[in-house]
Amino acid sequence: MSNPFGNRTSDLLDISGLTVALPLGGRHRTVLSDVSLRVGAGEAVGLVGESGSGKSMTARSIVRLLPAGAHTEGSIRLGGADVAALRGPALRDLRRRVPMVFQDPRAHINPVRTIGDFLTEALRAHSRTPRRAGQERAVRMLEEVGVADGRRRLRQYPHELSGGLLQRVMIAAALLTEPHLLLADEPTTALDVTTQAEVMAILDELRRERGLAMLFITHDLELAAAVCDRTAVMYAGRVMEVRASDLLHQHPLHPYTAALTAARPCLDRRAERLVTTAGRPLSAFEAPDGCPFATRCAHVRQRCHDTRPGLRPLAGGQVACVRAEELHQERAVPHE
Amino acid sequence: MSEAILRVEGLRKVFGQAVAVEEVSFSLPRAGALAVVGESGSGKTTVARMIVGLDRPTAGRVTACGRDRSQPARSARERRRRGGEVQIVFQDPYASLDPRQSPAAAVEEVLRLHTRLDRGRRRARVAELADLVGLDERQMAARPARLSGGQRQRVAIARALAAEPRILILDECVAALDVSIQAQVLNVLSEVRERTGVAYLFISHDLAVVRQVTDDVIVMRHGSVVERGPTGQVLDAPEHPYTRLLRASVPGPGWRPTRRITQQAKQAKETR
Amino acid sequence: MTAVAALLGRGRRSALGALGTTAAAVIVAAVVLAVLGPALSPADPDASDFANAYAPPGPAHPLGFDGQGRDLLARLLTGARTSLLGPLWVVALSMTAGTVIAIVAAWRGGWLDSVVSAALDVVFAFPGVLLAMLVAAVFGPGLSAAVLALSVAYVPYIARLLRSAALAERRKPYVQALEVQGAGSVAICLRHLVPNLMPLIAAQATLFFGYAMVDLAIVSYFGLGVRPPAADWGVMVAGGQSGVLQGYPAESLLAGGCIVVLVVAFNVLGERLSDDSGQSGTSGPSRWWRPGRGGTA
């Protein structure tokens, strides 16, 4: 399952050289710059980054939910088909096959309609399932996402459900259309930790049972590592590193990934001081020429400012850093 | 513990029919750092609001710097004095500053309220506080809209410290920040405590952050304290099932969410 | 013109768009005319010469004469001052009272808030124009009585909207941080709450200026506000009626046109300012809904 380079033919999602500029403050500003990422069938890929990194924008690009006036370059292929060419019914079909689960479920559900209406609406519209059968399936699906007493839930309204419960309803709705790829945009960020653990467990289990691929967007490197086969780290609208999740966390290749790991306090011990990086995370249009992390990087050299590194293979992953090999050697030597 | 600078005894708060806080007692030593850990609905924020006087306790006592503050302040002087004892930093960095006031002006306003410093001295003190939280002169003169979340939170900390409080309540003050910014603010908090001897009441749901910043911890659930002790001890060897559940829910190396945790959650609910 | 001043002072003219900028320009022009009116006037507005009754426009009198042989342009220019001064008073009085009531209610909360809200609801039930006419009937006609009555009638509309905005602002952490600091309530309200509500206050003032113009014109039309022979647009619309019947509609049309143009300008600008301040401008179901007219509109 974990296959860093992916087998081209089995790639479910193939993003290649994606650059997106949005109209902000009267002119177009780059928010994604040359993003390339692949998700194989049944694979879970994490997309990790801080604010402005472009992780949500990447997901929105896939289902063509970008703000009006966006300029897009590069290609997004889903099951071999070019997403940019889709129109009308084909586009709706895409969004059904690639459902998205958002951070704030309440903002994405009609508050005056029942849970039952919400769950069966999609079914009836797309596959013309009769009402009864649709409800049966919805109840079964709710059971699968750990919502007991499904019949009663179908009659309830969103405001009667807690955030955790509502997010499970959203997951149920996403899975009802039997998708091949799920886009999860910070689905547990607004939830309590114990609820997060439950929701993640459900998501992880169902995904594995159904061989469903997932692009999991989060700011939490450790959460991504726990549920994803591979993780991509984004910064300033670019992919800095893609690697198998366990390796990424323990032996990061890119200095930015290393900085992100070091900045997070540890549950098991108290650090004298947290290792911090000066400055704040940048958006793509604020980033300097050359490596976008160069102005904040502890390992910076002149050539980092001169050339903008692309992703290249290293140690079973991909990394966009001109000094990656050197730094990898340096780090590897003391351990051996 | 006669050294306690903040003491909370039998605190209770009822909103209408709902009991938000029930029989909460703890004490915070001088220059100490106590974490209040819990999830939403645990009552941890209500405890903080009662200590600073934004909510009135239904029952119980709050004593700060040896003086009772369970009842609303009667005079302007009393209000100011209380302000000089306990300060608070809120979670939302985007609403915690007046959008029309520069950070320097916000800090200076507090200095005018609490000190008799002249204009020049106030300026110098503003610069000192800015330095303490790692903000430069340009940032202190900017409009809040031009500052990032982390910078705003530093301003909020500087503004709270301007009153030279003995106790600073930090209510989820790094929860809304990016990981790298969060680390910067946490370091600032450690330095401030070392340099000023201010005591922290650190309200958070994030166990790793709590470990980094605090000495002791109380764990709250449904308005009551379920476990207390030194932070390291409670996190390494949690005794109450709910604390164990919290600990087990934190993703980390080797963590894998399973429905086992769902079972644990059920157990924890039953034991309560 | 608080709104225009606030607008220009903050250099946000471009945010108004072409229509909003035009509206602002119309208002500024009207204000200039109102100030300079009597000086610009080509003739004495009150000098009547029945030989010139309904005389058509000529080189010295570009708009001609009314039924009493008074120069129409002179009367329009002089009338601008009264026609703008009345609404200005209404807006100043009702905005001040409305803002104070709103902030006190929002800040204190509890029983005071409930009492204030109930009292506002009672006044709310009175159509402004009707109240103004009632007052004029009891205390005798005149501009000040009409202005006072309209001001009272507008307060609930202003206070209601500002109260909810003030409540939202009051709950923000920066205000609560100041409370924890021990800052006084009055200081917090004056230094922080009011300045942050100012964009909304300015927008409301602009909208209500338009409403007040129409309402005062109506009151004057019925002879209960500004008294003839004083020049006022509302009085002119009424005075020109007999001319309309005789086939000389110029006086009523011109005065009415001035009112319509300015009211539209105030409405447009008020709407734009409201959009800008992030609040819905008209607190009613449609943009043509206006206060002070009960259900008759």
What gap in Å lies between CA C204 and CA B219, rounded to an integer?
Answer: 49
The verdict on a CB contact (< 8 Å) between C181 and B100 is no
What gap in Å lies between CA B72 and CA C75, rounded to an integer?
Answer: 62
In a domain, C55, yes or no: no
In a domain, C88, yes or no: yes
Work out the angle between the directed axes of helices A163-176 and A131-144 (0-180°, nearest 10): 120
C174 to chain B, any CB pair closer than 8 A? The answer is yes
Three-state secondary structure readout of chain B: CCCEEEEEEEEEEEECCEEEEEEEEEEEECCCEEEEECCCCCCHHHHHHHHHCCCCCCEEEEEECCEECCCCCCCHHHHHHHHHHEEEECCCCCCCCCCCCCHHHHHHHHHHHHCCCCHHHHHHHHHHHHHHHCCCHHHHHCCHHHCCHHHHHHHHHHHHHHCCCCEEEEECCCCCCCHHHHHHHHHHHHHHHHHHCCEEEEEECCHHHHHHHCCEEEEEECCEEEEEEEHHHHHHCCCCHHHHHHHHHCCCCCCCCCHHHHHHHHHHHHHC
Residue A114 confidence (pLDDT): 92
Name all domains of chain B by residue range, CATH numbers in brackets: 4-98+166-237 (3.40.50.300), 238-272 (no CATH)
Beta carbons of C15 and C208 less than 8 angstroms apart: no
Residue C295 confidence (pLDDT): 31
pLDDT, one tens digit per residue, over C5-53 is 444 444 444 567 788 888 999 889 888 888 887 777 777 777 777 777 7
What gap in Å lies between CA C18 and CA C263, rounded to an integer?
Answer: 17
Tokens of C54: 């309904």
Identify the weakest region by mean pLDDT among A112-121, B116-125, B133-142, C272-281.
C272-281
Q: Taking CB atoms and an 8 Å cutoff, what residues of chain A touch B187?
A: 273-274, 276
Residue C95 confidence (pLDDT): 95
Largest Cα separation within chain B, whole Å, is: 63
Using CA atoms, how far residue C242 sits from B215, C218, C247, C252, in Å, is 90, 17, 9, 9
Burial of A317 (0-12, 13-18, 19+ CB in 10 A): buried
C182 to chain B, any CB pair closer than 8 A? The answer is yes
Residue A241 confidence (pLDDT): 94
Residue A52, Ramachandran bin (φ over 0: left; ψ between -120 and 50: alpha; else beta):
left
Beta-carbon contacts of residue A63 (< 8 Å; ≥ 6 apart): A83, A94, A95, A98, A100, A183
Cβ neighbours of C245 (radius 10 Å): 9
CB-CB: which of B180, B245, B256 is closest to A263? B180
| Closest chain B residue to the Cα of A164, Cα to Cα | B40
Residue C166 confidence (pLDDT): 94
The verdict on a CB contact (< 8 Å) between B181 and A280 is yes
The verdict on a CB contact (< 8 Å) between B82 and C179 is no
- Mutate: best of C10, C12, C169, C174, partner B, most B CBs <10 A: C174
What gap in Å lies between CA C100 and CA C109, rounded to an integer?
Answer: 14
- The number of domains in chain C is 1
Residue C287 confidence (pLDDT): 29
Separation in Å, CA of B248 to nearest CA in chain C: 33
The verdict on a CB contact (< 8 Å) between B179 and A204 is no
Tokens of B138: 């340009």
Average pLDDT for C250-267: 87
CB-CB: which of B181, B247, B252 is closest to A222? B252
Q: pLDDT at residue C283 above 90?
A: no
Tokens of B213: 């910043």
CB-CB: which of B53, B73, B99 is closest to C196? B99
Beta carbons of A146 and A168 less than 8 angstroms apart: yes
C180 to chain B, any CB pair closer than 8 A? The answer is yes
The verdict on a CB contact (< 8 Å) between A259 and B209 is no
pLDDT, one tens digit per residue, over B47-66 is 999 999 999 999 999 999 99
The verdict on a CB contact (< 8 Å) between A274 and B205 is no
| Closest chain C residue to the Cα of B51, Cα to Cα | C180
Any idea what the Cα angle at residue A283 is, between residues A278 and A286, rounded to 5°? 80
| Closest chain B residue to the Cα of C173, Cα to Cα | B96
Name all domains of chain A by residue range, CATH numbers in brackets: 8-99+179-335 (3.40.50.300), 105-178 (no CATH)
> Taking a contact as any Cβ pair under 8 Å apart, which residues of chain C between 56 and 95 contact chain B?
none
Beta carbons of B39 and B247 less than 8 angstroms apart: no
B153 to chain C, any CB pair closer than 8 A? The answer is no
Residue A79, Ramachandran bin (φ over 0: left; ψ between -120 and 50: alpha; else beta):
left
Beta carbons of A123 and A134 less than 8 angstroms apart: yes
Q: Taking CB atoms and an 8 Å cutoff, what residues of chain C touch B107?
A: none
Q: Is C92 helix (H, G, I), strand (E, B) or coil?
A: helix
In a domain, C56, yes or no: no
pLDDT, one tens digit per residue, over A62-74 is 988 888 888 999 9
Q: pLDDT at residue B79 above 60?
A: yes
Pairing of strands A44-48, A27-40: unpaired
Q: Which CATH number is C209's domain given?
A: 1.10.3720.10
CB-CB: which of A195, A267, A277 is closest to B180? A277
The verdict on a CB contact (< 8 Å) between B98 and C174 is yes
- Mutate: best of B88, B98, B166, partner C, most C CBs <10 A: B98
Three-state secondary structure readout of C133-163: HHHHHHHCCCHHHHHHHHHHHHHHHHHHHHH
Confidence bin at B238 (pLDDT 50/70/90): very high
The verdict on a CB contact (< 8 Å) between A200 and B257 is yes
Residue A169 confidence (pLDDT): 92
Q: pLDDT at residue C150 above 50?
A: yes
Residue C6 confidence (pLDDT): 45
Q: pLDDT at residue C225 above 80?
A: no
Using CA atoms, how far residue A141 sits from A136, A138, C152, in Å, is 9, 5, 60
| Closest chain B residue to the Cα of C194, Cα to Cα | B100
ipTM comes to 0.86
| Closest chain B residue to the Cα of A246, Cα to Cα | B253
| Closest chain B residue to the Cα of A228, Cα to Cα | B256
CB-CB: which of B149, B182, B208 is closest to A266? B208
> Taking a contact as any Cβ pair under 8 Å apart, which residues of chain C between 187 and 226 contact chain B?
191-192, 195-196
Q: Taking CB atoms and an 8 Å cutoff, what residues of chain A touch B248?
A: 197
> Taking a contact as any Cβ pair under 8 Å apart, which residues of chain B between 86 and 115 contact chain C?
86-88, 90-92, 95-101, 109-110, 113-114
The verdict on a CB contact (< 8 Å) between B79 and C177 is no
Beta-carbon contacts of residue B242 (< 8 Å; ≥ 6 apart): B219, B221, B226, B227, B268, B271, B272
Separation in Å, CA of B98 to nearest CA in chain C: 6
Using CA atoms, how far residue A310 sits from A49, A74, A314, C280, in Å, is 18, 15, 12, 48
Chain B neighbours, 3+ Cβ pairs < 8 A: A, C
- A324 or B28, higher pLDDT: B28
**CA C81 to chain CA mean position, Å:** 13
Low-confidence residues of chain A: pLDDT under 70: 1-10, 126, 332-336
Average pLDDT for B11-30: 94
The rounded percent of chain C whose pLDDT value lies above 70 is: 88
In this structure, what is the dihedral angle of CA atoms C18, C23, C27, C32, given to the nearest 10 degrees? 30
CB-CB: which of B52, B76, B91 is closest to C180? B52
Residue A324 confidence (pLDDT): 86
Residue A4 confidence (pLDDT): 43
Chain A residues contacting B, CB < 8 Å? 50-51, 146, 192-198, 200-202, 204-205, 219-223, 225-227, 246, 249-250, 259-260, 263-271, 273-277, 280-281
The verdict on a CB contact (< 8 Å) between B261 and A197 is yes
In this structure, what is the dihedral angle of CA atoms A160, A163, A165, A167, given to the nearest 10 degrees? 120
Per-position DSSP letters for A256-321, written without gaps between them: HHHHHHHHSPPSS---SS----SS-PPPGGGSPSS-TTTTT-TT--HHHHH--PPPEEETTEEE--
pLDDT, one tens digit per residue, over C54-109 is 777 777 777 888 877 788 888 888 888 888 888 999 999 999 999 999 999 999 98
Under DSSP, the state recorded for A323 is T
Q: Which helix (H) or strand (E) holds C170?
A: helix C143-170
Work out the angle between the directed axes of helices A193-210 and B259-271 (0-180°, nearest 10): 150
Chain A neighbours, 3+ Cβ pairs < 8 A: B
**CA B53 to chain CA mean position, Å:** 14
In a domain, C25, yes or no: yes
Residue A333 confidence (pLDDT): 57
| Closest chain B residue to the Cα of A247, Cα to Cα | B253
Domain extent, residue C196, equals 2-42+63-276
Q: Is A228 helix (H, G, I), strand (E, B) or coil?
A: coil
What gap in Å lies between CA C79 and CA C97, rounded to an integer?
Answer: 28
Residue C13 confidence (pLDDT): 43
Beta carbons of C23 and C272 less than 8 angstroms apart: yes
Sign of CA dihedral B31, B161, C165, C18: negative
- Mutate: best of C12, C180, C200, partner B, most B CBs <10 A: C180
CB-CB: which of C180, C184, C192 is closest to B88? C180
Identify the weakest region by mean pLDDT among B77-81, B120-124, B215-219, C202-206.
C202-206
Separation in Å, CA of C130 to nearest CA in chain B: 41
Q: Is C185 helix (H, G, I), strand (E, B) or coil?
A: helix
What gap in Å lies between CA A259 and CA C87, rounded to an integer?
Answer: 63
Residue C282 confidence (pLDDT): 35
Q: Which helix (H) or strand (E) holds A36?
A: strand A27-40
Identify the weakest region by mean pLDDT among A4-8, A76-80, C146-150, C240-244.
A4-8
